[in-house]
Amino acid sequence: MSNHHSAVTATGIDTDAVVHGQSIQSVYVYEAPVRLWHWVNALAITVLAVTGYFIGAPLPTMPGEASDHFLMGYIRFAHFAAGYVFAVGLLGRIYWAFVGNHHARELFTLPVFTPAYWREVISMLKWYAFLSPRPNQYVGHNPMARLAMFCGFFLFSVFMVCTGFALYGEGAQMGSWQEQLFGWVIPLMGQSQDVHTWHRMGMWGMVIFVTLHVYAAIREDIMGRQSIVSTMISGYRTFKD
């Protein structure tokens, strides 16, 4: 057993705990609009994934008269509503990249021509692969997370919005703004069924990204040197050493 004991003063103050507390530093990183968008976006993606799955693989036929049920109608409505929230949120997030702090722009830019950036990506990759004992500290997204967010979220999101509204435009019919803005997607990809297939594949890609994102965030909170999950709640990045 260890012989180390915390020094406790006559007033009952644990001096070791005080010193440890003073060593923790916080930096304001994510502004309120970014944090609000993050959690609303997470809810929208969850609704989109669940309802999208059932749209592609409907539930078994329900008993009774068809006129008594509107289950698939409700599922489709929830999917479309969440799709609008997702698309409007993405536009709002792009706007905030221009008016927010420099951390708000990390989602949309990559310093691909900077060798130091790629060295940091490799360093973080070793950390995630349990080949490195300690990760470096970063105020915003770490380089590996930044690459994953740009490729795994932003580009995927643009693809899902374009294919989703292209399919929605079929129901809204010719002349609707959805068909006019996104109707070109269907002939580009072949036919409507091709767009359906790629849109569903994109859903699974987004599910994989979210799974890895949640795992990495929780893992960093436990094993890393800075806060992750709480940062997206309070906005402050807390450094543990």
Question: What is the overall mean pLDDT for the chain?
Answer: 87
- Cα–Cα dist 208/202, whole Å: 10
Does residue 70 register a pLDDT over 90? no
Q: How does residue 59 score in pLDDT terms, banded at 50, 70 and 90?
A: confident
- Cα–Cα dist 93/104, whole Å: 8
Among the residue ranges 31-40, 48-57, 83-92, 129-138, the one predicted with the least confidence is 129-138
32-235 fold = Fumarate Reductase Cytochrome B subunit (1.20.950)
Element (H, E) at 124: helix 115-128
Which of the pair, 138 or 61, is modelled with greater confidence?
138
Which of the pair, 26 or 240, is modelled with greater confidence?
26
Does residue 139 register a pLDDT over 60? yes
Does residue 17 register a pLDDT over 90? no
**CB–CB of 150/106 below 8 Å?**
no
